[in-house]
Amino acid sequence: MNENNSSPNISEDSNADSILQSASVNTKEKTIKGLFWGYLEKLGGELVALVVSVVLARLLGPEAYGIIPLIIVFTSILGVIVQGGFGSALIQKKDADKIDFSTVFYFQLTLSALLYTGMFFAAPLISAFYNNPYLTSMVRVLSLSLIIGAINNVQHAYISKTMQFKKFFFASFTGTVVSGIVGVVLAFVITSSTGNPVYGAWALIAQKLTDHIIDTVFLWFTVKWRPALKFSFKRLKSLFSYGWKILVSSFIDTVYKDINTLIIGKAYTSSDLAYYNKGNAYPKLIMNNLNQAIQHVLFPALSSHQENTEKVKSMTRRAMKTSSYLVFPAMMGFAAIAESFLYILLGEAWLPAVPFMWIACFNFAMWPIHTTNLQAIQAMGKSGTFLVAEIIKKTSNLLFLAAGVFIAWSLAFESTTDSVIVIALSSVFAEIVCVFVNAWPNKKIIGYGFLQQFRDVLPAVLMSVIMGAAVFAVNLIPFSALIADPFATAVIKLIAQTLTGVGVYLLLSVVFKVDSFRYILATIKEFKNKKKKKSTN
């Protein structure tokens, strides 16, 4: 490897670099197409994942599902360290070339191998911490995801940089389908051959690793980028000067998100942890369909216009209004149908997860506001501001969490699940603080402050509240008096609630001529016309 700081002019490098240089062309069209493929990637993959998770949850039960989060607490934190903010740095750097991408690739691969070695030897300590002898081998196997993640992290950055989001869809969808089959087959084998529910966790581990492997292999053969035999310490230092702040921010955020799992997993039962995680999982599934698509697409799109503050503000406002228009009603509606939904999908044994789903729906409704603000801050190169905001948020959030834990332990509920609910409620106050902190920097950076953001999302909030009230009102209908079978009653109620929610929200959008609704319709019409024009030519 040679430390070369000039742009490569070797023929094998020119194709990849030319793609990088043309990434900012036709930004609007690429952004909208990117949102489409990004959303389709998440929607298709998560729908398959939903079916698989339902089958696995019914086969394995809460106890097996409560084991995996205990391990993911550690692998998630180490995964952030491996990524080191370099993916964001590569996307943000306008003239990033093959040397930059190759340097990051080799660095992350080496670091991930070192961290995996550490996890291998730390596995017995983690097992002892949770007082669970089964965890040692599980930690060692699932931690392989660190190395796999290091391999495809640069590929993901390259795809985002060049806005080739169609590749994400096929890689993610294929991985989800294949891994789902592997997980279900193993779950059947394990549950039929052993009476110990803990062994069912191996089916979940196999599913997660297979998903990562398929995604990595698929992208390796479909993305043109390949690491060159080049490494530049100067480039690494330059990228790290931006990325380390993102690293610290992501590290703090990940530790904060996982500390609940750490506390619940240590102080309460694995079933309580499973209820907590399942309550979060389904609202997160819906929210991620849009939020991650926006995150993957918005950051490179905004970065390409970082010199034009007004353009960045305009794009940020549009993303804020459109995402809130879609996410707020989805979360409000999901909270309203939570009981029927869980009963139908997972059965009566999982109903203790309903309160956690209510809390999660409120929290995840705030995420598009967080994401849009943070993407604008990063795209404008203000990683220092990003870090300061993250420190302020997580400091206050940890105080709320500590208060929740103190109250839960002080009240000494008879049910451990009630104690966990109190701990989960602390996150509601934390999310409210995050809204203000994330919006504050953008008033100075792009002239888009909290009050203007509040006015932009207010129509979606008000319509969602009205819609949620209508959906909750459906519960007043005595379905059980009309239908004897409890499962059939739940299905009829869910259908009625869903149709009511969708109908009321669309009706309100039409009556009040909501800007985001008209924008979505106009965008769909524009793409249909372009597609029709291309077919006629």
Instruction: Tell me the per-residue pLDDT of 449-507, one tens digit each, with 9 for 90 and over.
Output: 999 999 999 999 999 999 999 998 998 888 877 787 888 998 999 999 999 999 999 99
pLDDT-derived band at 428, boundaries 50, 70, 90: very high
Residue 104: φ, ψ to 5°: -65, -40
Residue 10 has pLDDT above 50, yes or no: no
Query: Do 94 and 223 have their domain in common?
Result: yes
pLDDT value for 297: 55
Triad 452, 302, 528: Cα angle to 5°: 90
pLDDT value for 28: 52
Of 67-71, 165-169, 252-256, 317-321, least confident by mean pLDDT is: 165-169
Non-local (6+) Cβ contacts of 60 within 8 A are 187, 191, 197, 200, 201, 203, 204
pTM for this predicted structure: 0.69
N residues, the chain: 537
Of 11-15, 59-63, 225-229, 456-460, least confident by mean pLDDT is: 11-15
Query: Do 223 and 367 have their domain in common?
Result: no
Query: Do 275 and 174 have their domain in common?
Result: no
Residue 390 has pLDDT above 50, yes or no: yes
Of 204-213, 278-287, 313-322, least confident by mean pLDDT is: 278-287
Whether residue 214 contacts residue 178, with contact meaning beta carbons closer than 8 Å, is answered with yes
pLDDT value for 115: 94
Non-local (6+) Cβ contacts of 483 within 8 A are 489, 492
Judge whether 18 lies within some domain.
Answer: no
Amino acid present at 224: K
Of the residues 263, 290, 306, the one at which a domain ends:
263
CA-wise closest residue to 98 among 227, 290, 271? 227
Q: For residues 313 and 298, what is the distance between their CA atoms, to the nearest angstrom? A: 12
Q: For residues 25 and 220, what is the distance between their CA atoms, to the nearest angstrom? A: 25
Judge whether 409 lies within some domain.
Answer: yes
Structure tokens at 278: 């399942």
Residue 228: domain span:
1-12+31-263
Judge whether 76 lies within some domain.
Answer: yes
Q: For residues 195-224, give the mean pLDDT.
A: 84
Structure tokens at 92: 């943000």
Query: Do 83 and 170 have their domain in common?
Result: yes
pLDDT value for 326: 86
Three-state DSSP at 230 gives strand
Query: Do 68 and 181 have their domain in common?
Result: yes
Non-local (6+) Cβ contacts of 128 within 8 A are none
User: C-alpha distances in angstroms, 347 versus 53, 114, 203, 459?
Assistant: 13, 43, 20, 36
Amino acid present at 53: S
Of 102-111, 243-252, 456-465, 468-477, least confident by mean pLDDT is: 243-252
Between residues 7 and 409, the one the model is more confident about: 409
Judge whether 25 lies within some domain.
Answer: no
Query: Do 185 and 276 have their domain in common?
Result: no
Query: Do 176 and 302 have their domain in common?
Result: no
Q: Is 401 left (phi over 0), alpha (psi -120 to 50) or beta?
A: alpha
pLDDT value for 6: 40
Query: Do 390 and 474 have their domain in common?
Result: yes
pLDDT value for 12: 45
Query: Do 243 and 280 have their domain in common?
Result: no
Judge whether 530 lies within some domain.
Answer: yes
Alpha helices in 130-144 (DSSP H): 135-142
Give the percent of the chain with pLDDT over 70. 84
Total of domains in the chain: 2
Find where tokens 């029709």 sit: 532
3-state helix, strand, coil in the chain (%, to 5): 85, 0, 15
CA-wise closest residue to 278 among 357, 210, 201? 357
Query: Do 231 and 346 have their domain in common?
Result: no
Residue 176 has pLDDT above 90, yes or no: no
Judge whether 21 lies within some domain.
Answer: no
Judge whether 22 lies within some domain.
Answer: no
pLDDT-derived band at 4, boundaries 50, 70, 90: very low
pLDDT-derived band at 394, boundaries 50, 70, 90: confident
Burial class (CB in 10 A: 0-12, 13-18, 19+), 254: middle
Between residues 328 and 289, the one the model is more confident about: 328
Whether residue 243 contacts residue 80, with contact meaning beta carbons closer than 8 Å, is answered with no
Highest mean pLDDT among 138-147, 157-166, 316-325: 138-147
Residue 5 has pLDDT above 50, yes or no: no
Between residues 59 and 24, the one the model is more confident about: 59
pLDDT value for 13: 52
Of 24-33, 364-373, 406-415, least confident by mean pLDDT is: 24-33
Q: For residues 120-146, give the mean pLDDT.
A: 92
Query: Do 251 and 350 have their domain in common?
Result: no
Judge whether 363 lies within some domain.
Answer: yes
Of the residues 263, 283, 306, the one at which a domain ends:
263
pLDDT value for 291: 61
pLDDT value for 410: 86
Q: For residues 367-387, give the mean pLDDT.
A: 82
Residue 450: CB atoms within 10 A of its CB come to 17
Structure tokens at 75: 């692998």
pLDDT value for 511: 94
Between residues 376 and 457, the one the model is more confident about: 457
Query: Do 248 and 272 have their domain in common?
Result: no
Q: For residues 282-310, give the mean pLDDT.
A: 67
Helix axis angle for 486-511 and 309-336, nearest 10°, is 150
Structure tokens at 380: 């404008």
pLDDT-derived band at 25, boundaries 50, 70, 90: very low
Mean of pLDDT over the chain: 81
pLDDT-derived band at 85, boundaries 50, 70, 90: confident
Of the residues 214, 230, 263, the one at which a domain ends:
263
pLDDT value for 3: 44
pLDDT-derived band at 9, boundaries 50, 70, 90: very low
